[in-house]
Amino acid sequence: MTTRPALGISIGDPAGIGPEICLKALSLPEIYRESVPVVYADRRVLEDALELTGKDFALNPVKSPREALGEPGTIDFADAGVITRKGEYAYGTVGARSGEASFQYVVKAIRDAMAGLSVGVVTGPVSKEAINLAGHHYAGHTEIFAEYTRAGNYGMLLSGGGLNVIHVTTHVSMREACDRITRDRVLDVIRLADLALKLMGKEPRRIGVAGFNAHASENGLFGTEEARGIIPAIEAARAEGLDVTGPVPPDTVFVKALGGQFDVVVAMYHDQGHIPLKLRGFRMDPKTGLYSRMSGVNTTIGLPIIRTSVDHGTAFDKAGKNQANEESLVDALKLAAAFTKNWDRFMKRDHPPGRR
């Protein structure tokens, strides 16, 4: 009797690289040692991806993750029934049909996880434009998960290249980010950072909090965000017993994290956290213009289910060419499986984890 956790994989936009990297990732036997992967897709899309990659998988349709075989060489998949014929989507093209498909894949995967049929969802890349063309008005995956899991307090954690970074704000303008850096929000994210380290099994759990302004405002010379929101949050977190340092000037906080001073960095806005992660995790071949390395995982911390994701987009320019790198998806699958080992200890859940 195996106790491997069932993990849903929503493949993302069919017109992007998601189906391709899913098949490449599931070609690795070690994925099946730690989990039972169940793919949320359409049969037609998977058949197209098999033809593209030349992979030799048996397709096993299931109505529930509990029916999955969990065997290397077999793709257990839940058919969404959105794309059923050739020509309903095209690689490298933004379309409402593929946007509808990607939305249905992730929603069905979330619902199964919320019902306790799996422990969580690993997501492939989606096109926000395509999802909105299909009539589903979300800024991205994170917002879909927040609504369908009824989550109140959550944050985006990026992991890779020796760094863990969690964000106070993400998909908003810099002007709006300034307004969202409040004492309560920063404190919530510091607590989520501590939770993320618990789920990773990290001890000690040292948290570095980045400033927002140059030199962390130089005692108010360059802005008020530190004094108004960041410093009060750090003081409150320390009063709760958390190991927190900051605000640390943004231009050195990641160097210090790589030097072993912090286990996670709390970043104030999207690019402050994303740029160092991608500099560490992504490599591009200057001769071919192709990524030779794409490591890194995007995790939503604070949901009632596990959610990890690739840390890249649909790469429409490479879709349909069998050139995509699956490394980020492999990382996401492995991290999700690792989270299951500490999930019951640190998370209160309404449903027992889905296991086989």
Q: Kind of pairing, strands 36-41 and 6-10?
A: parallel
DSSP state of 355: B
Q: Kind of pairing, strands 74-79 and 58-61?
A: parallel
- What pLDDT was estimated at residue 295? 77
Rg, Å, the chain Cα set: 20
Domains plus CATH for the chain?
A: 1-151+303-356 (3.40.718.10), 153-302 (3.40.718.10)
pLDDT per position as a tens digit, 200-209: 999 999 999 9
153 burial (CB, 10 Å; 0-12 / 13-18 / 19+) is: middle
pTM here?
A: 0.89
* Angle (CA) 63 125 36, round 5°: 40
Q: How many CB atoms lie within 10 A of CB 316?
A: 18
- What pLDDT was estimated at residue 348? 53
Q: In what order do the strands lie in the sheet with 206-210?
A: 58-61, 74-79, 36-41, 6-10, 120-123, 306-310, 297-301, 155-160, 163-167, 264-267, 206-210, 243-248
Residue 151 to residue 122: CA distance in whole angstroms: 17
- What pLDDT was estimated at residue 2? 52
pLDDT per position as a tens digit, 7-45: 999 999 999 999 999 999 999 999 999 999 999 999 999
> Considering only CA atoms, which of 85, 90, 82 is closest in space to residue 106?
82
Span between the terminal Cα atoms of the chain, in Å: 7
Sites in the chain below the pLDDT cut of 50 = 1, 349-356
The contacts of residue 93 (CB under 8 Å, 6+ apart) are 15, 316
Which amino acid is residue 151, in one-letter code?
A
Contact between 269 and 229 under an 8 Å Cβ cutoff? The reply is: no
Q: Report the SS3 class of residue 1.
A: coil
